[in-house]
Chain A
Amino acid sequence: MARDLFKNRDNKGYLFILPYFLAMLTFQLYPIFYTFYLSFLKPVSLIKNEFAGFENYARLLKNPLFYTAIGNTWFIWLMNYIPQIVFALLLAVILTNPKIKGRETFRTVYFLPNLVTAASIGVLFAVLLDWRFGALNHALIKIGIFNEPYEWLQDKMATRMAVALIQWWQWFGYTMIIFMAGLSGISDELYEAAHIDGASASQSFFKVTLPLLKPTMLYVMVTSLIGGLQIFDIPRVLTNGRGGPDNALTTIVLYLYNQGFKNFNLGYASALAYALFVMILVFSAISFKIIKTRD
C-alpha cells in the first residue's frame, strides 16, 4: 500500500518531510500532551501514580511559593534585561563605527562570557562570594570598606542581584552582536540623507537608527523574555540546587525541576510547566502587540 501511495511522483515529497514530522510528533507534540496528562496525577511511590484531578493546579494557585517563584524570575529578568539592552545598544553603536580602533578585539572580549557554560560561572561566583574565603570579602576588608566578612549568599537581595549581574555579564555581548547585525542592515544612504538634511548624531540615532532597529529589538525582547522566564542553571549551581536563602533564588524552572526530579512529584511539576507555558505565551503575545502597534 505504501508503495502505491508513493508511486506517484507528486507524492514523493511527503516522504522527504516525513522524518521531521515524526521527530516533531515524538519529541515535541507527544511530550506536550503527556505533560498535560501527567499534571493530573500525583505520586504514590517513585513508580506509581494516582489520578488527582485538578489537585495539582489547585495546590499551585494556593501556594505562596509559586508566586514567590514568579516574582523572583521576573525580578531577576528585569534587573538584568534593562542594563543589558542599554549596554548592548550603546556598545553596538560604538563598535560599528569604523573610526574605533581594535573593534574586533572588543567584540570578542565582550562576547567571551557567553561561551562559558552557566555551570562553571555558577561555581566561579559561588567561590568568589563565599563569605569566609571568597575573594570579594577579602578585597572589601583589605580596602577597608568592610570590617568583617559579609554573608552574601545568605542575603536574599544580594543573591538575586548577583544572579542578575551574572546574567547581564554573560548576555550583553550576545545581544550586542545581534544589534550589530541589525545596525549593519541599515543602509548608509539613510544616514547620508539625514546628514545632508542637517541632522545631528543624536538625531540620526533616535530618528533613523532606533526606528529601523525595531524588528531586532522585538527579536531580542522575545528571546530574552523566554530565556529569562526559564532561568535555571545559575540559581541552581549558586545555591546547591535548593534555591536558598529561603527560596530567594527559586525561579519557576528551578521550582519545577526540584519538584519533578528531586521530590519526584511529576504531576505537580507538570502543572508548573503548564503555568509557565501559559505565562510565556501571554507575554510573548503582549510584546509582539506593543512593538507592532508602534510601527
Chain B
Amino acid sequence: MINKKRILSSTLLLLMVALVSFSVIGCKKEEAPKAAEAVEAKVMARTDYAGDIVVWSFTDELQDMIPMFEEEYPGIKVEFVVIPNADEVYLNKINTTLRSRSATPDAFTGEAAFYKQFINAGYWEPISKAPYNAEDLVKDLVPYVPNSSRNADGEITALSWQATPGALFYRRGLAREVLGTDDPAEVSKWTSDLNKFYELGEKVKETTNGEKYLLAGFSDMSQFIFNLRDTPYIVDNKLVIPQGMLDYMKIAKDMRDNGIESGTTTWQPPWFSSMKDGSVMCYILPTWGLHYVLKPNAEPEADKGEKEFSGDWGLAVPPASYSWGGTWIGINALSEKKDLAWEIVKYLGSDEGFLEKWAKKTGDFVSNTKVIEKITPTFSEPFLGGQNHYEYFAAEANKIDVSHRGPWDFQIENAWGDQVSLYASGNKSFDDAVEDFKKAVSEILPDVDVQ
C-alpha cells in the first residue's frame, strides 16, 4: 500500500517538475531570433545548389512560380505550403512557429498589411550584407519595394516580385452614356481630381435616374486617402490623424446622402456582385486588383482566356496616387538552409528572366525596372479594350511613397473605416466618430497617447 502511494506521489511530483521547467523554458524563449553569422560567399552555378526547402505563403500565387524556380534550380526541391490568412490564421501560424524557434519554413511571405510586424520582430533574415548582398539588386528594382522592407538598422529583409501602384477601372459603356466618350484620357479628366470625381458621380446619378452609381461604396476610396498622408499615424508615441482622413469622412457622408455610391462595403459579397451587374461605374483597385478581383468577378470568362468577354473596361487616373497591398518574401532568420532560401527569394524578387515570363503569363505588374521597360511598349490588355495598363503603372510606381507605413496601420485604418461607416450612415456625429476612433486606437496600442 505504502509502495503504491509513493509511486503515485512521485509520478505526480515528476510531472509537476516537468510542468514547471516547461514554463521556465517557455519564459526564456522570448528573445528575437538573431541574425546568422555570415556565411562565406561562393560563386556557384544554379545547378550546383541542392537540397530541400520549405516555403510558406498565405497566397497561392507562388504555386505557379515554384515550378519555374525548380526548372532553373534542378537540385532544389521546394515544398510549398499555403496557409490562407482569413481570420489571421497565417499571421498567427507564423507567430507561433517563430516563437517556438522553429527552423521551418526556410522562406515565407508577408503582406503589406502585416509584414512590418515581421520586420520589427526580426523574423526575416537581413539580406543587405554578404553573403546575400541584396543592395546590389536595388538599382534594378522599383525603389519602394525593397526599401519598405528595411529594418531599424536600415537593412533590407525581403523582396517582392510585384510593385502595386493603384489605378481606377471604369465601365466604358457607362462612360459613353454619361460623358459621351470612353477614351481613358477624357475619362481621367473627371477622375483625377476629387472634386471633379464627385461631380462625375452626380452626372452618373442624373443620367441614369439614380439607378447606377459612381462607386460601389465610399470605402473603395480609403486606399488612396490613406496613402495621401505625409505623416505616420504614431509620432513620438502620439496619435496623429491626418487631415485627409477627416476630409474623407465628410466626403463619405456626402456620397452616401446623395446616392453617389451604392452602399456596399469593400470585400463584402454585394461588393463583388456589383462588378457583374453593371450598376457601378468605377472601382479603385491596384495592379493585382485587375487580375485577381475585377476580372474574375466582372466577367469570369475573361480570366479563362476565352474571347467572349466584352472588353468593356478601361483604366483611368484615380484622384490620388496610391499603392495597395503587395506580397514580400524573406528568409526565416532561424532557417538552417539560408543559402538555398536566399536563392528562391532572389529568384522571385529580382530575376529578370523569371519576372518577364511571369508578367507575360499573368499580366501582373512586376518589381524589376528593366523588365518593366522591356515589356511596356508591347503590352495590351484585351480586358481593358486593348489598353496598355503597364505604361500607366510604370509611371505610377515611381510616385509611391510608403515611408510613413507602420506596423499597426492595418488595424488603425480598419478602426477609422468603422467610424467612417457609422458617421456616413448617420448613426453618429462627426466629433463622436473621431473620439471613438481614438478609443479604438488605445485598444490596439494601449501605451500610445491618443489625445
Contacts and interface: CB of A to CB of B under 8 A. Distances in A.
A111 to B, nearest CB: 28
Nearest to B408: A263
Given A242-B414, A263-B444, A264-B95, A8 B427 contact: no
Contact of A48 (B32, B270, B414, B436): B32
A59 B19 contact: no
Contact of B123 (A5, A18, A46, A261): A46
A65 B438 CA distance: 13
B159 interface: no
B180 interface: no
Interface string B16-27: 001100110011
A71 to B, nearest CB: 16
Nearest to B114: A46
Interface in B310-336: none
A133 B264 contact: yes
Interface string B105-130: 00000000000011011110000000
Contacts, number: 107
Interface string A253-269: 00000010111110010
Given A46-B118, A59-B446, A154 B87 contact: no
Nearest to A255: B443
A139 to B, nearest CB: 16
B92 A261 contact: yes
Contacts of A264: 95, 117
B427 A155 contact: yes
A21 B15 contact: yes
Interface stretch (A30-38, A92-100, A181-189, A274-282): A30-38
Given A8-B3, A245-B422, A45 B411 contact: no
Contacts of A22: 15
Contact of A245 (B18, B269, B427, B446): B427
Interface in B115-147: 117-118, 120-123
A47 B31 contact: yes
Contacts of A126: 268
A295 interface: no
A263 B4 CA distance: 49
Contacts of B31: 47-48
A141 B418 CA distance: 27
Contacts of A110: none
B99 interface: yes
A59 B446 CA distance: 9
Contacts of B403: none
B30 A48 contact: yes
A261 B88 contact: yes
A179 B341 CA distance: 60
Contacts of B32: 45, 47-48
B181 interface: no
B38 interface: no
Nearest to B87: A241
A262 B4 CA distance: 49
Given A47-B121, A132-B270, A14 B7 contact: yes
B95 A46 contact: yes
A5 B32 CA distance: 43
Contacts of A18: 11
B149 interface: no
17 contacts: A11-B7, A25-B18, A29-B19, A41-B30, A46-B123, A47-B32, A48-B32, A48-B121, A65-B439, A65-B443, A127-B269, A132-B263, A133-B270, A244-B422, A246-B418, A261-B88, A262-B88
Given A48-B121, A132-B264, 20 more contacts: A11-B3, A14-B7, A14-B8, A29-B19, A30-B23, A41-B30, A45-B32, A45-B120, A47-B30, A47-B32, A49-B30, A65-B439, A127-B269, A154-B422, A154-B425, A242-B414, A242-B415, A242-B418, A263-B445, A264-B95
Chain A to chain B: the 7 pairs with minimum beta-carbon distance, closest first: A46-B121, A132-B263, A133-B270, A47-B121, A45-B121, A45-B120, A154-B425
